[in-house]
Structure 1
Amino acid sequence: MYKIKSLLDNNIWHKFAIYYQGGSFMTRKKSTQLFYHYFEDWVELYKVNSVRPITLNKYYVTLAWLIRLAPKLQLCDLTRQSYQQLINEYAQDHERQTTMDFHHQLKSCIVDAFEEGEIKQNPTRKAVITGKRPAPKKVKFLSQFDVQKLIHVMNLETSLNWDWFLLLILKTGLRFSEALAITPECFDFTNQTLSVKYSWDYRHTDGSFQPTKNPSSVRQIQLDWQITMQFSQLLHGLPKDQPIFVHGRVFNASINRHLKVLCESAEVPVLSIHGLRHTHASLLLFAGVSVASVARRLGHANMATTQSTYLHIIQELESKDGERIMREMSQLV
């Protein structure tokens, strides 16, 4: 027994919760195990190293809520009534979609327990998912008219500042971390292109270059002649391999606050920096640029991401396409 224990760290040994009796091992009966313990073991077994860290963190958030809402609930006491009560309590503080995500994570674990015979019924069957009233949706993109008003109040001086940073995102659709990682050597002023090779790890104190979100994010973006001329003058004499906007610690929230001030000054809806990326894409789509071209420009891994993100715009354009089709067909006589 001691030899086996020496092969396991204390944390793993604790989670296995095995007992030694009469020279043999006897696993703790799972059915009387606290539900949140069972869920924790399930996450460690099936999710650690098999899902992305950001997804794994969501499971741990679910675990934290389980401990908070049902600290004494045993696996064997899971019924449709007790499960519905758990869901209802969670829904009091969360919107319906968030509650649905919470339900789906718990359901995956509980269905496994049911199939393994640990519980006699599936308590998640016919669960009713509710939630508090959704908060007012924030504006995700600006119209072309509002974009012009926003640019008009920007302080676009002869030296680089955060307004130039925001303008670059508006005109290229860069992600926040990608824009921070832009260096002078990323620009090809002769061919009017911008190369996206890295992103910037702004979440850590020192900051550093890091890989882009996915391989498709490594791309070349065509620039308009105006911003090409502007940045060719702004970057004169700067170190070729150093970020042009980063000078110390960068906080996303601080630049978002700056953008908020600009939006209020321009009397346009307040949106986030990521909203500028959405604005770039929406303007291109409304201008008739294909979804495939927009997807490549944004660095999406596939067109499905672009289509799902901008579904409302695409549907609006399709309705206009229907009118064009009928107009063209009516001319055939």
Structure 2
Amino acid sequence: MELEKGNGKQLAHRTTTFSDYFDNWVKVVKSPDIKETTYQNYLRTSKVVKKLFKSIQLKDLNDIVVQRKIDEYAETHARKTTHELLLKIRAALRDAYARGYLSNDFTHLIKTRGENAPKRNKSLSITDFKKLRNYVLSNSVDEFNVLVLLALETGMRRGELLAIRPESLYKHGIKVRQSISPTSDDTSLKTANSKRDVSINPAVHDILIKMSAKKNGYIFSFNGFKQSELLSELLKHLSIPKTTFHGLRDTHASFLFAQDIDIAYVSQRLGHVNIQTTQNYYLELMPEKKHQQDADALNLLNSL
């Protein structure tokens, strides 16, 4: 301990509980560099850390202790959710090590465990995509139907759609400049690449320009941010397999991909930082496209 003290290790801080350290790290270190919605997400994580680690102090932390806590969390949460928690905990632990509050960096030894939950944001098939689009287009008197139509038509995020104002519209599409969050008043976009102009069909544009803005200046009601629940009822009515509202964004991207639209264009239309994001998360093969690819592959093999 004397040697470590001589090397600049901050031994006094080691009696701080990890939950208190994490909370302070979020409020002092992270908050200046992240947007408000992300900050709120970190604050929710801070509550999880407090519940998991309770009164465990920094000096008592090692890879085994932290791994047990991560495994405990994984018992009731999806693998993806657990991994997101682990990433934040790793960052805080590395910060503590850099400041001399931990004697070594063991974060690389901690692993994400748990089961992968079934994907909720499933893309609709081309058949169901057309069925849903034709229905909402034909029943555009209902405001929510127009919101669904725009999600299918543009691939815009829910927050971006809710932030549409009359001035957001131009002759050929929608200017994406803001995003509404359910957790804060921050209306900034997710990333710099999210700022874009998205083209829409004339028929959809005509529907939009006839809609009046609410008192808050936005065209669509927020509906308590329960768009996925409302969509579930609509899909059930149409006998279409269930997906989330975000699944409509996936459907838009997958449909464009199925029609052999250039991936660089799809990525830009979705407002992604890079093409890799588009490839990793959005470009699923719709069933009809997969069958076509199977047939094409077999035909190529048969021609040898």
Q: TM-score range by the shorter chain?
A: 0.7 to 0.9
Contact 1:156–1:163, Cα closer than 8 Å, also in 2: no
SS of aligned partner of 1:195: strand
Structure 1: how far apart are the matches of 2:148 and 2:189? 19
> CA, structure 1 residues 156+277, in 2 after alignment: closer, same or farther (shift >3 Å)?
same
Which letter does structure 1 place at the counterpart of 2:196?
R
> Do 1:83 and 1:123's aligned partners in 2 also have CA atoms closer than 8 Å?
no
Q: In the alignment, which residue of structure 2 is the partner of 1:96?
A: 79
Change in 2 beyond 3 A, CA 1:202/1:113? closer
Deviation at 1:100, TM superposition (A): 2.9
List alignment gaps of at least 5 residues for structure 2.
1-9
Is the aligned partner of 1:194 residue 2:173?
yes
1:260 aligns with 2:232: yes
User: Does the alignment pair 1:222 with 2:194?
Assistant: no
Letter in 1 for 2:21: Y
Residue of structure 2 in register with 1:77 after alignment: 60
Query: Structure 1 residues 162-171 or 111-120, which shifts more?
Result: 111-120
Which residue is 2:30 aligned to?
47
Q: Give the conservation status (yes or no) of the 8 Å contact 2:173–2:200.
A: yes
Counterpart in the other structure of 1:36: 19
Separation (CA, whole Å) in 2 of partners of 1:198 and 1:30: 44
CA 1:260/1:237 → structure 2, altered by over 3 Å: closer, same or farther? closer
Determine which of 145, 151, 155 is the counterpart of 1:173. 155
Give the aligned CA root-mean-square deviation in angstroms.
4.1
Residue 238 of structure 2 aligns to which amino acid in structure 1?
Answer: A
Task: Give the Å deviation of 1:155.
Answer: 7.5
Which of 128, 131, 136 is matched with 1:149 structurally? Answer: 131
Q: CA deviation at 1:139?
A: 4.3
Displacement of 1:287 in angstroms is 0.3
* Pick aligned residue for 1:299 from 263, 268, 271: 271
Q: Percent identity?
A: 27
Alignment partner, residue 288 of structure 1? 260
Q: Distance in 1 between matches of 2:63 and 2:183?
A: 45
**1:272 counterpart (241, 244, 248):** 244
Greater relative contact order (Cα < 8 A, sep 6+): 2
AA matched with 1:198: R
List gaps (5 residues or longer) in structure 1.
1-26
- Give the match's secondary structure for 2:31: coil
Q: Give the direction of change, closer, same or farther, for the CA distance of 1:243–1:172 in structure 2 (3 Å limit).
A: farther
Cα distance, 1:102–1:290 mapped onto 2, change above 3 Å? same
TM-score after normalising by structure 2? 0.74
Q: Distance in 2 between matches of 1:109 and 1:229?
A: 51
Query: 2-side partners of 1:84 and 1:209: how far apart?
Result: 35
Regions of 4+ moved over 6 Å = 316-331
Matched residue type, 2:173 = L
Displacement after TM superposition at 1:177 (Å): 3.2
Shift of residue 311, structure 1, vs aligned partner: 4.8
* Helix, strand or coil at the partner of 1:48: helix
C-alpha displacement of 1:218: 3.9
Shift of 1:269: 1.1
Output one character per residue of 1:4-27: Cα deviation in whole Å (capped at 9) or x when no partner.
xxxxxxxxxxxxxxxxxxxxxxx9
Q: CA deviation at 1:127?
A: 3.4
Structure 1 pair 103/166, CA: closer, same or farther in 2 (3 Å)?
A: closer
Q: Is the 8 A contact 2:137 2:149 kept in 1?
A: no
Q: What is the alpha-carbon distance in structure 2 between the residues aligned to residue 281 and residue 158 of structure 1?
A: 23
1:285-333 deviation per Cα after TM superposition (whole angstroms, max 9, x unaligned)? 100000111122223343333222225449x9899889979989999xx
Assess if the C-alpha contact under 8 Å between 1:139 and 1:269 holds in 2. Answer: no
Alignment of 1:101-140 (within 5 A): 101-114=84-97, 116-124=99-107, 126-131=109-114, 133-140=115-122
Higher helix share: 2
Cα gap change, 1:306/1:324 in structure 2, threshold over 3 Å: closer, same or farther? Answer: same
Conservation of the 8 A alpha-carbon contact between 1:141 and 1:278: yes
Q: State how many pairs are aligned.
A: 292
Q: Structure 2 vs 1, CA of residues 199 and 93 (structure 1 numbering), >3 Å: closer, same or farther? A: same
The one-letter code sitting in structure 1 at the alignment partner of 2:75 is Q
